[in-house]
Amino acid sequence: MEGPRVRVALIVCLMLGMLVTESAAAFSPLCYAKCFFMCLIRRRNPILCGTLCVVKCLVSGGDKDKECYERVVDKCLSEGRSKEDCANEAEQQCKRANMLAESDPSYLCQYGCATNICAKISTAYNPAALKVSKCVDNCGTMCAKI
């Protein structure tokens, strides 16, 4: 049963790889799709994986900070805290120097919107990376008006 799932996941990743080029300046659907499938193989929880990967790809812009996020979130979840608290904790501990300042209301708005709305679009059978990316971009546009 898992064999077909893994094959489908690999095919989707390859297709996304052909269609999308990774951008360091914006949320990357390719970053999200890669992260989502790798997370789903280990955790089998699409909502948690969606949240973790939105955070990873929004905060790091696709850079390889995944290990930090997973380590912090795993520790946080083992303490019985909520996934939102854990995502916030990971963002705090793993943020990069070039990330927007925490006090920027526009960034905080986009982060909240993306983790609470966009992360729930993906399912175990469809990461919907392009829809998630569009949702994150829409969050950014909406929040820029604040």
What was the pLDDT predicted at 8? 53
Tell me how crowded residue 27 is: count the other CB atoms within 10 A of its CB. Answer: 25
Domain boundaries, the chain: 2-144
What was the pLDDT predicted at 36? 94
What was the pLDDT predicted at 135? 95
What was the pLDDT predicted at 58? 80
CA dist., res. 96 & res. 57, Å (int): 12
What was the pLDDT predicted at 129? 94
CA dist., res. 23 & res. 113, Å (int): 21
Span 91-115, mean pLDDT?
70
Q: What is the DSSP letter of 62?
A: T
**Tens digits of residue pLDDT in 49-89:** 999 999 888 865 544 466 677 878 888 899 999 888 888 88
**Tens digits of residue pLDDT in 48-58:** 999 999 988 88
Tell me how crowded residue 126 is: count the other CB atoms within 10 A of its CB. Answer: 13
Q: Which residue has the higher pLDDT, 104 or 31?
A: 31
Q: What is the 3-state secondary structure (H, E, C) of 14-75?
A: HHHHHHCCCCCCCCCHHHHHHHHHHHHHHHCCHHHHHHHHHHHHHHCCCCCCHHHHHHHHHH
Q: Give 19's contacts (C-beta < 8 A, 6+ positions apart).
A: none
Average pLDDT, the chain: 76
35 contacts 56 by C-beta, under 8 angstroms: yes
